[in-house]
Amino acid sequence: MKKTKIICTLGPASSSKEMIEKMFQAGMNGARINTAYGNLAQYQSVIENVREIADIPIIIDVKGPEIRIRASQQKVFSKGDILEVGFDGEEVCFNHDIYDEMKVDDEVYIDNGKIRTRVIELKDRKLRLLALNSGALEDGKGVNIPNKHLSVPTFPEKDLEIVKFAKKHDVEYVALSFTRDAEDVRNLSQINGFEGGIIAKIENAEGVRNVEEILEASSGLMIARGDLGVEIEPEKVPLVQKSLIKLCNQKGKLVVTATEMLESMIHQPNPTRAEVSDVANAILDGSDAVMLSGETAVGEYSVDAVEMMARIANETEQAVKSNVEDTAFINISDTVSKAIQEICQSMPVDKVIPLTRSGYTARMIARFKIAQQIIAVTPEIKVKKKLELIFGVYPVLIDYRNEKDKIAAVAKRLNEMKLVTDEETVLFTSAMRTVMKHASNSIEIHKIKELREFLSS
Dihedral angle, C-alpha 60, 1, 303, 198, nearest 10 °: 10
Domain assignment of residue 322, yes or no = no
How high is the pLDDT of residue 457?
62
Relative to beta strand 115-123, strand 135-137 is: unpaired
E strand segments, 35-151? 58-62, 67-71, 75-77, 82-85, 92-94, 107-110, 115-123, 126-131, 135-137, 142-144
Predicted pLDDT at 454: 73
Could you give the CA distance from residue 198 to residue 189 in angstroms, rounded to a whole number?
Answer: 8
The interaxial angle of helices 302-316 and 273-285, nearest 10 deg, is 50
Residues 178, 281 within the same domain: yes
Same-domain pairing of 90 and 38? no
Same domain, 217 and 101: no
> Of 118, 144, 170, which one is at a domain's C-terminal end?
144
Catalytic residues: 32, 68, 201, 259
Neighbours of 24 (CB within 10 A): 17
Separation of alpha carbons 197 and 425, rounded Å = 34
Looking at the fold, whether 232 and 184 belong to one and the same domain comes out as yes
Kindly state whether residues 49 and 170 are assigned to the same domain.
yes
C-alpha 59: how far from chain center: 8
pTM, two decimals, is 0.89
Question: How many other β-carbons are positioned within 10 Å of the β-carbon of residue 272?
Answer: 13
The answer on 173 and 248 residing in a single domain is yes
CB atoms within 10 A of CB 435: 6
- Give which of 300, 288, 261 is closest to 11, Cα–Cα: 300
- Which residue among 90, 111, 144 closes a domain? 144
Residues 286 and 338 in one domain: no
Give the H or E element holding residue 198.
strand 197-202
Structurally, the chain folds into a number of domains equal to: 3
| pLDDT at 68 (0 to 100) | 87
Instruction: Decide: helix, strand or coil at residue 171.
Output: coil
Assess contact for 425 and 378: CB atoms under 8 A: no
**Residues 92, 51 share a domain:** no
d(CA 416, CA 403): 17
**C-alpha to C-alpha distance for 307 and 313, rounded to whole angstroms:** 10
In a domain, 327, yes or no: no
DSSP character for 32? E
Q: Do 129 and 159 have their domain in common?
A: no
Is 294 inside any structural domain? yes
- Specify the pLDDT at position 436: 67
For 304, list phi and psi in degrees, rounded to 5. -60, -35
Question: Quick check: helix, strand or coil at residue 150?
Answer: coil
Question: pLDDT of the chain along its 457 residues, tens only?
Answer: 899 999 999 999 999 999 999 999 999 999 999 998 899 999 999 999 999 999 999 999 998 778 889 998 999 999 999 999 998 878 899 988 899 999 999 999 998 888 999 999 999 999 999 999 999 999 988 898 887 778 787 777 888 899 999 999 999 999 999 999 999 898 888 766 777 899 999 998 999 999 999 999 999 999 999 889 888 889 999 999 999 999 999 999 999 999 999 999 999 999 999 999 999 999 999 999 999 999 999 999 999 999 999 999 999 999 999 999 887 777 888 889 999 999 999 999 999 999 999 999 999 999 999 999 999 999 999 999 999 999 999 999 999 988 888 898 999 999 999 999 999 999 999 887 667 676 787 899 999 988 877 767 6
Tell me if 223 sits within 8 A of 247, measured CB to CB. no
Q: Is residue 21 part of a domain?
A: yes
Do residues 140 and 163 share a domain? no
**Domain end (from 287, 317, 347):** 317
54 and 74 housed in the same domain: no
Residue 43 falls inside a structural domain = yes
Picking from 402, 404, 428, the residue whose alpha carbon sits closest to that of residue 415 is 428
Q: What's residue 403's pLDDT?
A: 85
**Alpha carbon separation from 426 to 219, 373, 374, 447, 453 (Å, rounded):** 29, 10, 10, 6, 15
Residue ranges making up the domain that contains 136 = 67-144
**Do 423 and 379 sit in the same domain of this protein?**
yes
pLDDT at 441: 78
Domain annotation covers residue 16: yes
For position 208, which CATH number holds?
3.20.20.60
Let me know if residue 119 belongs to a domain.
yes
Q: What's 105's domain CATH number? A: 2.40.33.10
Does some domain include residue 247? yes
CATH number at residue 433: 3.40.1380.20
d(CA 145, CA 127): 13
